Structure 1
Amino acid sequence: MMKIHLMTGIALAIGLGATVHAVRAGTAPATHGDDSAVEKFDVYREISPLSITPGGWIREYLVRQQKGLSSHPDAQGYPLNTNMWDGVIPSQSKSWWPYEQTGYYLDGMARLGYLLSDEKLLSRYQRNIDWVVSHPTDKGLIGTSLYCNPSHWPNAVFFKSVIPHVMATGDQKTIDAWHRHYTATSAKDIGLGERNVLNVEGLLRTYGWTNDKALLQKAEDAYVIHDKDPGSFQLPYSLVKSDHKVVIHGVTFAEALKLPVLFYMYTGKKEYLDAAEKGMRTVIRDHMSDSGVPSSTEYLSTRDPLQAHETCVSSDFAWTLGYYLMATGNAVYADMLEKDCFNAGPGAVNKDFTGLQYFSADNQVIATGCSNHAKNRRGGNWMQYRPDHEPACCPGNAHRLMPIYATRMWMRDRKGGIVAALYGPSEVTFEHGGIKVTIEERTSYPFDEKVAFVFKVDGAVKIPFSFRIPGWCGKPSVSVNGKPYKGDLKPGAYVTLDRTFKSGDKVEVRLPMPVRLNRYQNALSVERGPVLYSYAVPEKVEVDVKATKNKDFPALAITPTGDWNYALDVNENNFAKRVSVIPARDGAYPFDGGSGAPALKVPVRKVKGWALDQGKMTPPIPIAYELEKEQEWLTLVPYGATRLRMTHFPECVERVEIPVGGWEISPAYDYDKSRLIDDQKFAPETGDAVEWKPASPNGSGIVDLSKALDEKKGLAYARTTIESDRSGKAWLAVNAKDSCIVWLNGKIVHRMEPPNDVEFQAPDMVPVTLNKGRNEVQVKVAKSFPVVPVGQYPAGWGVRLRCVRDK
């Protein structure tokens, strides 16, 4: 499997210098919108959205979004069909959630408005920000949610839209209003309560605009308070710093992971950056999907290819990755951000932006009102493409993804240099030393290997210009005005040309995109450059009449009309020869699935008997199966061009299951729940007498300890045997709720860190060597009692074990 190394980014010098200003006609640049009022410790910084003009396929994506749901939020139902933050939203419950959901939409709408110069969208946003700013409480607090429910969390969401607004307009009235608001808000108000701590972002940005150091101190105080009393829905700082597997609410994780990196940007304290990068490594290790976003079926859900991701998380994770990139200048975060925005995000929406999924998965071969294959709301409509979902967080958040990407494509460094931070067709216009500069980025990236930067300058300008060599690119080349660049082109780093540019100068970057094979246990996927490839399962599309409220924005029932049950007939030794690239043939929109993007041709064989789960849901990757003899060839297309798709394929190796014998279980033992179970040993390990009793697996093959033993004690042992007719390699497929240690013939062969789910989670595939005859298996299983409760898997305690080997 391809490995991402987070700590190998380039170390860039930090210095003070000229400022990049927005110069789009008719709009003044923000005075402090770029945080120039305070000393900061970031490497790169955002620029005004008015400086960036998207082009090519990115513009087409944004225009389709504009013509689709972004200009018709009423089609998405309550609360997106209301006045939003332009007054108090009519609500029977008077809860905070309508303001969270509309806050997401307003951020996407504002960015989209600036990028496309859409006066209707900007006028609507202006009405919302005007109402908020002009209606403070007696204490100076602002935010319409505070009129209904004393939650500060929606303000943290809405504040994201304030950032591009201030950077584009320099609206001092808005800056002053948020300054008064956060001055009047206590550290305790922010540190306690569900997700209130995410207002740290607003505190720090407002500190950057005002240089009020009291806000910086209040942010740090709130973070300390939060860490001591995080509640059940949070990501405390101590958990970010730990090595433990984190399983919390996915949106909260994606939002809260940015806090330590923000603290580093504003304080320079390296301990914050170290914690932030450790937290990112942990989520990559435990939950990152190949499509570029952590799995999250409400809660983080492992790297199991069947697990879905919430559409909210795609946008929130992209936003957080942008801060990581700015703080460090590490190109790996740009690589990760591109992967999210080119794969997971587009794959969760209709290509005309008339509908979206709440949950979207790398493997989804059916998408209807009853096809959700996740444990959470299993069999429901969360995987259906439709304009509305309940709750409406994902319908609001879907508007943010590509506008976030586009507004962060171009940044500046601390010396005033300009940085092509993320690739894509676009144009940036700014001033440097009083000289107007425009750079046109000519490319179809990531659907083309070539990126050309053409300069237009009023005279000549000496300026550092930085661009990226992605970590996946092994043989890049660069030319300046047709002459080869001889400097270092290290993969996973930014390259800086510090020279005098004049009109007509051209920097050409070629980024060869090798095909790469990823492996997760017994599942294979294929990618090229930053694009993940999928088989687009043939679709039958029908309108779900009962769920459709607006004929222009229908709820769809999409079912497969062709085979999808394929195994990929390649491996690590031969895939480079057996996978061929079909070049793009024209400039058509790449996510329409036609000839506008490169495709891949791969060999496959059908898996016998692999069918829909209960006739209506996508099934997991099988671990034991037979294959059809005939080899076929499939064409894979970019993930973002699909709705029904197969992305992770079983490997093309027939396997058979070896029966597992009868089970016995020990008594339950009371263990120290604050520690891992490795060094907590009881009678089955110490050799003392054990009173074993028989146990029978349930219909799902699970030895259910919660029904047989005292669950409050929470630790027990289970044992069984495997009879093999020959010695040789095999695999143990292990599931446990929550942690376990597995012994085979007296030797430890596997450890599983908590928390986990025993049924709705792919097993850990453990390679072992079986003896001929009797093989003894013992499993130590502990129910987890985490500091932050796992709401998705609150109950249960047990183990499931299967054994397979090659046929």
Structure 2
Amino acid sequence: SPAGWLRTQLELQAKGFSGKLEEISPWCQFNKSAWASPTGKGENGWEELPYWLKGYVDLGYVLHDPAIIQNATRWIERILASEQPSGWFGPTSNLSGPDLWPNMLAMAALRSYYEATGDKRVITLMTRYFRWQMTLPLWKFLPGSWQKVRGGDNLDSIYWLYNRTGEPWLLDLARVNHERTSDWVGGVASWHGVNFAQCFREPAQFYQQTHDPRYLDATLRDYALMIGTYGQVPGGLYGADENARPGYTDPRQATETCAMVEIMYSHELLQAITGDPVWGDRCEQVAFNDLPASMTPDLKGLHYLTAPNQIQLDRANKAPMIENGGDMFSYNPRDYRCCQHNVAFGWPYFTEHLWMATPGNGLAASLYAPCSVTAKVGKGATARIEEDTAYPFDTHITMRIGLDQSAVFPITLRIPGWCSNPTLRINGAAAALPPSSKGWIVIHRSWRNGDRVELDLPMHVSIQTWKANKDAVSVNYGPLTFSLKIGEEWRRYGDDPWPGYEVFPTTPWNYGLSLPPGNPAASLKVERAATSAEQPFTPDAAPIRILAQARRIPEWKQE
């Protein structure tokens, strides 16, 4: 369960456009949607509704919000009722072809519903649906377009079902699925920003079945190529303001909001597959620095594109600097069709991946945020761990362990790559750090009710130089990347209760840091707010700020 600032994000999401999308989006009208039809007939039967639903279902369950759960369940019930004798489910408009892509999204929602409720109808439906996929001629299985590029999403659900049923034929389907998916082993199969964010992981997913390291290496190689070419900017993303384009590699290039949430899930999944904590670092980098900028502070509006150097959010056309014409920058809850629906799963999935199960019936803190987790540990004991922290705005993390009986099990803690000197206390006493295995600390012991673990992750200012972008620099403090505070004028447009906003600068923005050589970070001063705001992702409420010497550069002008 989320707490602190993370719970605030989720509650704002529930009150914002994401939680109220049925009032806003023509693709989420229950009485008209083909997704709500037991026969699969109706309007708007493609990706938009399941894009939203796969986040909306999880939002309800992580918040334990009965109203959201009840509303999401009525959609789930209609999807379950749409199953045909053949095994197909969902809108019949996708059956010609067939187009399997929308059902990949719907299965993500069904999986979350099953994990929350144990409703075995989900297992039955998915089993019959994958049996139906096995009957397709090869030329009709993932024949092209999104479904072929994004076949890893189908693979994700195949493995999910296999892990619950053990049916060996599912592994046969998985092999065919990999062979029919676009070739991500041979290189980057698509430079489309969202496609890359969710698809570069596909070889590593298949690695779980083959244990052939070339598949894992392919994912690492694809990621390194994209980031090395188009991601030489702060924030952990890359310039792909639809597609990553040769020659468009500087910090003015932007990334879709869809790509943010998709790559967060890729990082979450890859950390689980590989056990490499670098993927947790990368997920936090996007979650803490990029995702909040994609939406208004009240989460009632979003924009299509976010860039590291983005000084004005207006409705004017930015093409050809930005690939597509039209409004891409202003905040609007009614536009940006794919991102408007897909962003819903970003914070809920992040919450669900804070803690993960480990071998030895233990638990791993894979990402850090204020939360609690309840799980079976050891030989069947029930544990509840309360994680008290303001991370990433503070270095200290306290974990209070509640147990219905004493139990022996491991608690595994991720040590971020940027932290060189963590400290650990158990029940108030300093503890020697156990040997670290690739950035993880494993504490394997007998735990009692009321035990307490305190982890401190000291943060320091660091300067990162981007040689590929004219030796530009960015300033980091732990997992956070900082930007110049610019005065803002918000100009409202559109109708109540869901207006849009343009944002214009009211203070100069064209400053360059004046950093002394040798030890540039020493010239920067960190200041902390006396109290932490419920919504810390705003310029005025930010709990941490850094004071720096800078010079205005008149030659830097708005384009």
Relative to the length of structure 2, the TM-score reads 0.91
Q: Contact conserved, 1:463 with 1:501, CA < 8 A, in 2?
A: yes
1:170 partner amino acid: G
Q: Which residue of 1 aligns with 2:166?
A: 211
1:467-502 C-alpha deviation (Å, 9 max, x unpaired): 111000111111111222213465961111000111
Among 381, 397, 407, which residue is 1:435 paired with? 381
Tell me how far 1:357 sits from its aligned partner: 0.7
Q: Which residue of 2 aligns with 1:107?
A: 54
Among 429, 447, 452, which residue is 2:398 paired with? 452
Distance 1:577 1:58 in 2: 31
Query: Residues 140-179 of structure 1 correspond to what in structure 2 (within 5 A)?
Result: 140-144=87-91, 146=93, 150-179=98-127
1:582-631 C-alpha deviation (Å, 9 max, x unpaired): 01310213113335511111111111142221xxxxxxxxxxxxxxxxxx
Q: Which residue of 1 aligns with 2:410?
A: 464
Q: Contact conserved, 1:382 with 1:389, CA < 8 A, in 2?
A: no
1:97-140 C-alpha deviation (Å, 9 max, x unpaired): x5312212111111110011112222222222222222223411
> What SS does structure 1 have at the residue aligned with 2:402?
strand
2:156 partner amino acid: E
> What SS does structure 2 have at the residue aligned with 1:500?
strand
The more displaced of 569-578 and 600-609 is 569-578
Q: Contact conserved, 2:241 with 2:324, CA < 8 A, in 1?
A: no
Q: Which residue of 2 aligns with 1:193?
A: 144
2:347 partner amino acid: M
- Is 1:610 the counterpart of 2:556? The answer is yes
Q: Which residue of 1 aligns with 2:487?
A: 538
Q: Which residue of 2 aligns with 1:748?
A: none
Relative to the length of structure 1, the TM-score reads 0.64
RMSD: 2.1
1:770-794 C-alpha deviation (Å, 9 max, x unpaired): xxxxxxxxxxxxxxxxxxxxxxxxx
Tell me how far 1:176 sits from its aligned partner: 0.8
Q: Contact conserved, 1:429 with 1:438, CA < 8 A, in 2?
A: yes
- Is 1:354 the counterpart of 2:300? The answer is yes
Tell me how far 1:303 sits from its aligned partner: 4.2
Q: Contact conserved, 2:18 with 2:340, CA < 8 A, in 1?
A: no
1:509-556 C-alpha deviation (Å, 9 max, x unpaired): 111111111222332211111111111321111112xxx2x4122111
Tell me how far 1:337 sits from its aligned partner: 0.5
Q: Which residue of 2 aligns with 1:482?
A: 428
Q: Contact conserved, 2:18 with 2:341, CA < 8 A, in 1?
A: no
Q: Contact conserved, 2:268 with 2:283, CA < 8 A, in 1?
A: yes
Return closer, same or farther for 1:162/1:536 CA change in 2, 3 Å cut-off. Answer: farther
- Is 1:312 the counterpart of 2:258? The answer is yes
Return closer, same or farther for 1:63/1:394 CA change in 2, 3 Å cut-off. Answer: same
Return closer, same or farther for 1:387/1:346 CA change in 2, 3 Å cut-off. Answer: same
Q: Which residue of 1 aligns with 2:367?
A: 422
Q: Contact conserved, 1:455 with 1:504, CA < 8 A, in 2?
A: yes
Distance 2:547 2:106 in 1: 45
Q: Contact conserved, 2:528 with 2:543, CA < 8 A, in 1?
A: yes
Q: Contact conserved, 2:313 with 2:503, CA < 8 A, in 1?
A: yes
> What SS does structure 1 have at the residue aligned with 2:549?
strand
Distance 1:217 1:364 in 2: 47
Among 350, 359, 369, which residue is 1:405 paired with? 350
Tell me how far 1:295 sits from its aligned partner: 2.5
Tell me how far 1:253 sits from its aligned partner: 1.4
- Is 1:278 the counterpart of 2:229? The answer is no
Higher strand share: 1
> What SS does structure 1 have at the residue aligned with 2:490?
strand
Q: Which residue of 1 aligns with 2:519?
A: 574
- Is 1:298 the counterpart of 2:298? The answer is no
Q: Which has the larger radius of gyration?
A: 1
Tell me how far 1:72 sits from its aligned partner: 1.1
1:29-65 C-alpha deviation (Å, 9 max, x unpaired): xxxxxxxxxxxxxxxxxxxxxxxx1000000111111
Distance 2:457 2:217 in 1: 31
Tell me how far 1:452 sits from its aligned partner: 0.9
2:36 partner amino acid: D
- Is 1:125 the counterpart of 2:72? The answer is yes
Tell me how far 1:393 sits from its aligned partner: 0.6
> What SS does structure 1 have at the residue aligned with 2:290?
helix
Query: Residues 633-648 of structure 1 correspond to what in structure 2 (within 5 A)?
Result: none
Q: Contact conserved, 1:297 with 1:374, CA < 8 A, in 2?
A: no
Q: Which residue of 2 aligns with 1:221?
A: 176
Tell me how far 1:577 sits from its aligned partner: 1.7
Q: Contact conserved, 1:264 with 1:273, CA < 8 A, in 2?
A: yes
Tell me how far 1:281 sits from its aligned partner: 2.2
2:476 partner amino acid: E
Distance 1:374 1:556 in 2: 23
Among 505, 513, 522, which residue is 1:560 paired with? 505
Q: Which residue of 1 aligns with 2:328?
A: 382
1:540 partner amino acid: E
Q: Contact conserved, 2:242 with 2:324, CA < 8 A, in 1?
A: no
- Is 1:264 the counterpart of 2:214? The answer is no
2:217 partner amino acid: D
Among 291, 296, 309, which residue is 1:363 paired with? 309
Structure 2, gaps ≥5 residues long: none
Q: Which residue of 2 aligns with 1:498?
A: 444
- Is 1:512 the counterpart of 2:458? The answer is yes
Distance 1:512 1:572 in 2: 24
Distance 2:429 2:92 in 1: 58
> What SS does structure 2 have at the residue aligned with 1:535?
coil
Distance 2:415 2:547 in 1: 27
> What SS does structure 2 have at the residue aligned with 1:369?
coil
- Is 1:526 the counterpart of 2:470? The answer is no
Percent sequence identity is 28
Among 72, 86, 95, which residue is 2:36 paired with? 86
> What SS does structure 2 have at the residue aligned with 1:131?
helix
1:180-216 C-alpha deviation (Å, 9 max, x unpaired): 0111113543332213242222222222222222121
Q: Which residue of 1 aligns with 2:15?
A: 67
Tell me how far 1:360 sits from its aligned partner: 1.0
Q: Which residue of 1 aligns with 2:81?
A: 134
Structure 1, gaps ≥5 residues long: 1-52, 241-245, 614-807
Tell me how far 1:321 sits from its aligned partner: 0.9
> What SS does structure 1 have at the residue aligned with 2:297?
coil
> What SS does structure 2 have at the residue aligned with 1:297?
coil
1:56-115 C-alpha deviation (Å, 9 max, x unpaired): 000011111111113210354321345552225754xx7xxx531221211111111001
Distance 2:128 2:95 in 1: 20
- Is 1:255 the counterpart of 2:198? The answer is yes
Higher helix share: 2
Return closer, same or farther for 1:272/1:147 CA change in 2, 3 Å cut-off. Answer: closer
Distance 1:563 1:595 in 2: 20
> What SS does structure 2 have at the residue aligned with 1:299?
coil
1:196-247 C-alpha deviation (Å, 9 max, x unpaired): 2422222222222222221211221232234xxx4xxxx543225xxxxx76
